Amino acid sequence: MEKVLVTGGAGFIGTNLVKYLNSQGCDDIIIADELGTSDKWKNLTELSFKDYIHFKDLNNTFHFDYIFHLGACSSTTETDADYLVFNNYVFSKQLLQDFMHVRKFVYASSAATYGSGKLGFSDRTPINQLKPLNMYGYSKHLFDLYIQRHFNNLDNVVGLKYFNIFGPHESHKENMCSVVYKAVKEIGDTKYLKLFKSGNPNYKDGEQERDFLYVKDAVKFTADLALQPRATGVVNVGSGKAYTWNYLAECIFDAMGVDIDIKYVDMPDNLKDKYQYHTKADVTKLSRLVDNNITDLRSAVKDYVQNYLL
């Protein structure tokens, strides 16, 4: 793979993707991002790449063979709709228009576009039927819709509906870090972990479910899909399994060598009507396109906790 652009290349998934590409012998990479005042810049020190530019300096005078458009505002609690629309929709439209003829244009969509999951979590569900629960999900949904309406005949564009990805190089995300990352500090300080109580009678406290996927698996799928000629449209990137928060907590306590102690707390009011009680990716399409063997959750948590967080 040569002449690669990774937007958001100093971010969480972007950093892990560049590291994976480096491990495959690829370093002809331009990273486009916005570093701001966070410690995100530190991620760049571990990567091999040709150049770094601010994402707003991208234009159609550049030449790329592959584009991984991972840069976005990923905060599910962000309330500035204009900020979300510009970063996740308007900029994405311009990037696609400038580089629609690359070998593969891979962009990050999100499982948040599925909303409550009333229609399931299949990447074969018509996009226009989906109803995201928050503005972040809707901003991602807008770009999915845009491509469907205007560029549905482009077989070199693939949107990845990432589910709950966790792993190294996420510390700069602060409040949007994974529960695994935040739990290690909380358990280290208090010896217990707080989880949200359930507000849905169909789910007991801590039995809300998520499709968790280790970032090392997610970036391998991402790179493999870029090289797969048959990969087009939207593709779910998840484990295909639904794990409870209680089970995730058990894995974290086990990795830390600490006895399990969970305290259930009320969910904040601003999340109650935007909360997904169950996510589970339908990975049928993914499994037909690439080898989607994954690291089991307990092993992934153990690797992350013991080799990166403790």
Q: How far apart are CA 48 and CA 132, in angstroms?
A: 37
Residue 248: CB partners within 8 Å, gap ≥ 6?
Answer: 179, 180, 210, 212, 297, 301
Residue 213: CB partners within 8 Å, gap ≥ 6?
Answer: 162, 163, 164, 165, 166, 237, 238, 239, 294
Residue 209 tokens, joined: 């479910």
Per annotation, catalytic residue among 173, 182, 197, 241: 173
Q: How far apart are CA 208 and CA 75, in angstroms?
A: 20
* Packing angle, helices 12-23 and 215-226, rounded to 10: 60
Under a CB-based contact definition with an 8 Å cutoff, are residues 68 and 17 in contact?
A: yes
Find tokens 């809707």 and name the residue: 138
Respond yes or no: is residue 173 known to be catalytic: yes
Respond yes or no: is residue 140 known to be catalytic: no
Per annotation, catalytic residue among 66, 89, 136, 304: 136
Q: How far apart are CA 304 and CA 84, in angstroms?
A: 30
Catalytic residues: 136, 173
